Amino acid sequence: MDIDQVIRDLISKAMNSVWVYQTANSYGKEMVQLLDSQGNELAWRWLSDGCAAWQAPSSVIGGYTNVPAGASEYDLSHGFEYASITLGTEDCANYSELPPRPDWCC
């Protein structure tokens, strides 16, 4: 499923926040997990698969006892449009860091 479907599903379950955590499986294949406030896995995808390949069944890694250090929180409380712009845009950019602004840019 794509990230918009995931966002709509989480909002329909009255979730106000979701945490994104990049990790790797035991073979070193990079993945992204969406976690709730307790560290439970909500959805996941392989980093190389892009934003249309989210899966809801648990991955081999599963959840954590709490949100791991390094996980980024995304606010869902402002509704789908806001979440789609923030989380959806980041997801489609594969959570890569933006390059620094050029000196000529304000």
Give tens-digit pLDDT for 43-89. Answer: 999 999 988 899 987 888 888 999 999 999 999 999 999 999 889 88
Residue 98 scores a pLDDT above 60? no
- Return d(Cα 105, Cα 37) in angstroms, integer: 37
* Structural domain includes residue 103: no
> Structural domain tally of the chain?
1
Q: Is residue 104 part of a domain?
A: no
Distance separating the N- and C-terminal Cα atoms of the chain: 38
Residue-number span of the structural domain to which 13 is assigned: 3-59+69-92
In a domain? residue 82 = yes
Residue at 10 is within a domain: yes
pLDDT at position 13 is 95
Residue 106 lies in a domain: no
Give this prediction's pTM.
0.85
Residue 101 lies in a domain: no
Answer whether residue 98 is part of any domain. Answer: no
